[in-house]
Amino acid sequence: MKTYLHRLETLLPPHVAPQSAIAQQFGAWSGDAATARLIRHVFKKSGIETRHSVLPDFTALNRAELFSVDAQGRVIEPSTQARNRCFARHAGPMAVELARRLVDGRAGFFPTDVTHIITVSCTGFVNPGPDYRIVTELGLPSTVQRYNLGFMGCYAALPALRMAQQFCLARPDAVVLVVCLELCSLHMQMKSTPDSILGNALFADGAAAALVSALPPADDCPALALDGFNSAIVEEGVRDMAWEIGDNGFNLVLSSYVPDVIAVNVDRIVGGLLAAHGLEVSEVPLWAVHPGGKAILDKVEKSLGLEPWQLRPSREVLRECGNMSSVTILFVLERMLLEHGLEPSTVAALAFGPGLTVESGQFEIVPARRPVIPKALELESLELVP
């Protein structure tokens, strides 16, 4: 039995800033000219042009919600509790908005059809959480089964999709909402350590959601058939990427060696995923790679012998949005469906996280069976009617 990702919806918070402006602000807060130069250098090399946050804090401290500055211009670090309460304020409304879009009937699904909700986040915890608000505010059945995949990191969307697939295989009428919410900017820390500077240069806020079911896709919506998943651990990278709860936010360990560790192992890991379906790397045209950073994409491209166009969606998401942890791979898949949803094609997806853990998935694009007229063209045609 096939299972399908019927729809993807993405959401960015309202506050957006150029990477250069964020670098300038962090450099000023450092209070040290040499550190400020290093910050500007790291931010410039990131491959990121803009990032979004639920907070205005990093470029508009006069409107700050969480961070503040004392009389000497030093940033006052908020507690973990304050950061988590900020997560609770923003995560619920974002989750409800995404779920509302997925069950608005356009793909043939309505609130009363939903049987399972899987929420994903490594940047905040609250209970009753976003899953509860989706059920109560959208009028879903109270019998909806709710699950949370917490603190897994950047790779978590793929295990969530695999979990949704397993629900559908066990119950053919299942309709599963997968909702990823990551508010990484809440955990920025004003330290001059390499880990902190690199994390502050990469991470951003965003949310994305997918609707998964074994029911046939709608005629006018391209879908993804979920063919298989693979999990792997690269033990030599265990000290290079980690994430723990500290007293002043969540503490990140992010070594500059991570791209090299991935590069050495990615061919073996991808081979394990594709071999189950009798495929080789050269036979897969589309690659949805989690853009953990520009160096990671460069190393994956070189190690797998990919063409630049094959990683273009990943690079575009990194450039426009930054690294949104687990959310990011769903942004890449959404862009891939928009660009390639008219023809059948194989997609390989890769995401990386603490451990060093590598999650991967193989999907097939199921094109729409009838053409979709973009809304803009519909309006233009109406204007031409005399």
Q: Which positions are annotated as active-site residues? A: 154
Q: Give the span between the Cα atoms of 92 and 264, in whole angstroms.
A: 40
Assigned token pair, 109: 């699904």
Assigned token pair, 247: 């007293």
| Beta bridge partners of residue 124, listed in sequence order | none
What is the H or E stretch that residue 300 is in?
Answer: helix 294-304
Would you list the DSSP string of 331-373? HHHHHHHHHHTTS-EEEEEEEEETTTEEEEEEEEEE--SS---
Q: Give the span between the Cα atoms of 177 and 212, in whole angstroms.
A: 7
SS3 category, 383: helix
Tell me the helix, strand and coil percentages in the chain, rounded to 5: 40, 25, 30
